[in-house]
Structure 1
Amino acid sequence: MGKVKLFEPVALRDVTLRNRLIVSPMCQYSAQGGHVNDHHLINLGRFAMGGFGLIMVEATAVVPGGRITHGDLGLWSDDHIPGLRRIAEALKMYGAVAGIQIAHAGPKAASQRPWQGNGALDDSDFQRGEQPWPVVSASNKPYADGWLKPTALTSATMAEVKQAFVDAARRADAAGFDVIEVHCAHGYLLNSFLSPVTNDRKDEYGGDLEGRMRFPLEVIQAVRAIWPQDKPLFVRVSAVDGLREGMSIEDTIVFARRLKALSVDIVDCSSGGIAPRYEYPSSYGYQVPYAQKVRSEVGIGTAAVGLIVNGRQAEAIVESGQADLVAIGREALADPNFALHAEAELGTVDPKAPFASWPTQVAWWLQGRAVQIQTFSGRS
């Protein structure tokens, strides 16, 4: 049995992940009134049984108006706690750490589910009883042509949003989650403040990068102040906005230095989402260099995400120091046993302890099957 960095346990504050593979928060658009149901339990539970170290619950709205769609999860009420507690307990039962992303969709709120058009709510949605609601942003710029025009937040409504993030974080802790991630990417509310594409404010929350960072940093500081000190805090960023005139990687490095000063533990490096088009190259592992640059220049932990498709690729990322964690999204949906398959692929299963855990048993079986298949396919 060989040891590889990908499957070494990693400690973040007082929380230990069994490996460095995490499941990215991926919206399911299947909630009602913000509440989880059996779909969420089954979808997320299979990743825990599949051996991932950390599983992030999808973007969970801090207020009803912060939902992307009518099907988004919510944490704006104590009524949401019991269902989410059931999720957290199930993930822990199978050895994973339970995490949750808290979010406000901002100018991209009140939209259709992807399979209904993925645009702003329209007449066909109204006929199904799904009405739009007022949307807010840093400025009054709509996300794209045909989308709802947002109202720019005032100092009073900004204070309400910040308190909503704080209250949602308290509820996440009460529900038993050990990792929380503040969504600051993909054109949603906090990203709309950061980006010069969407922020044309003339007050202290606009203008140069210092002004544009102010509100997101205030929110993150408030969340860190009430989130238990023994539990890690992640922040997801769009390392580049996707448009050349938007946030650059250099801007993100400045932002990450401020996050480090606020005791953020991991910067989760995604990109894009500020507009429908993406002007940067994209290929396998295309966002990994962003995680590497933030990690090396800021000295903060990072998670790499984006077209990471197998165990050897993931191992190369952490072994070379490009990132501390590897987040798997679409590939996890296609293969919920991604972590077990990677463990078998990299030969890290201990044959002397095949019954140590459910994932170990499965990985050991998969490794044996791989050997059998290779041997069989090699026969003439």
Structure 2
Amino acid sequence: MADTKFEGWLGKDKDSVEGKMEWGQFDPKKWTEDDVDIEISHCGICGSDLHMLSSGWGPTPYPCVVGHEIIGKAVKVGKNVKHVKQGDRVGVGAQARSCLQKDCPDCSHGIENHCHRETINTYGSVYPKDEGKSYGGYATHNRTNGHFVFNIPEGLDSAAAAPMLCGGITVYSPLKRNGCGPGKTVGIVGVGGLGHFGVLFAKALGADKVVGISRKADKRDDVLKLGADQYISTDEDKDWAKHNAQSLDLIVCTVSSAKMPLQGYLNLLKTHGTFIQVGAPDGGELPPINAFTLLSGGLKVGGSGIGAPWEIQEMLQFAADKGVKPWIQTRSMKDANEAVVDMKDGKARYRYVLEN
């Protein structure tokens, strides 16, 4: 097993996002007995992949294999990993390691996704101490620290489970942490790969009313079919912010644009309502917020990034128990370049999943 050949779609420069990734061999991080090697069967395509291929969030350490919604079979398991055994069906999300120290204020409290000492992403990160680089899931194999490798519940289809590992948890965590459930009205801004999960999970968590909010009216039918009770098109519904003022307890915003109508979104919140940003724009820039809007409404504005390992395992079981089924289209791994271009052009409805 030591001779496993790791091959994948290598992004070699900014142009790789234009469908110019090249298939080739790569060296995974140095093996330790804390790691798991996975033979990949499925990998979702996430918006983060495009940002990384194009160096949108800062300089990418090329060559880079993207993909952090990985499902496959554990083919080599380190001696220190107790919850996974060889042959298990497992998954990896957007995080590959944190410091995991007992004195870490984040890791010791089960919020490893916010670790400020060491966060290694599943791709595009350089490990300390000459351990190598992290490479993602548009590939034959992946090597990740066992703490961030998850068992996939029996009731979940592999292709459906893959996009939950980043797209799903990115909305499940803030919904759950901010009280989404019976008695609450919830808005999901931006109904794409992330947002469609927002609608599915908000309904499954039992929210009284779920409202999909997007620019164009052409997604209205889809969003209502996903289970939303209402749809707001900010481009086409006249005076939408006024007509729906003070109607929502919680908004999760998946949009990543410095031009989004943030003031309008905040107007939709009830007094003491909460707005959580999960979309990550290039450069990190958001529209300005009027202080008086916050003061007069007693509003809370926050952010959320992916989720902790225990939350991901909880979400997977919840999805299996509740029959949560994302809208996915499977594509062959060999067609990854075409799929990335289609994703970039906004054609996904609502998540592409690559299959080996």
Q: TM-score range by the shorter chain?
A: under 0.3
TM-score, length-normalised on structure 1?
0.26
TM-score, length-normalised on structure 2?
0.28
* Higher helix proportion (structure 1 or 2): 1
* Higher strand proportion (structure 1 or 2): 2
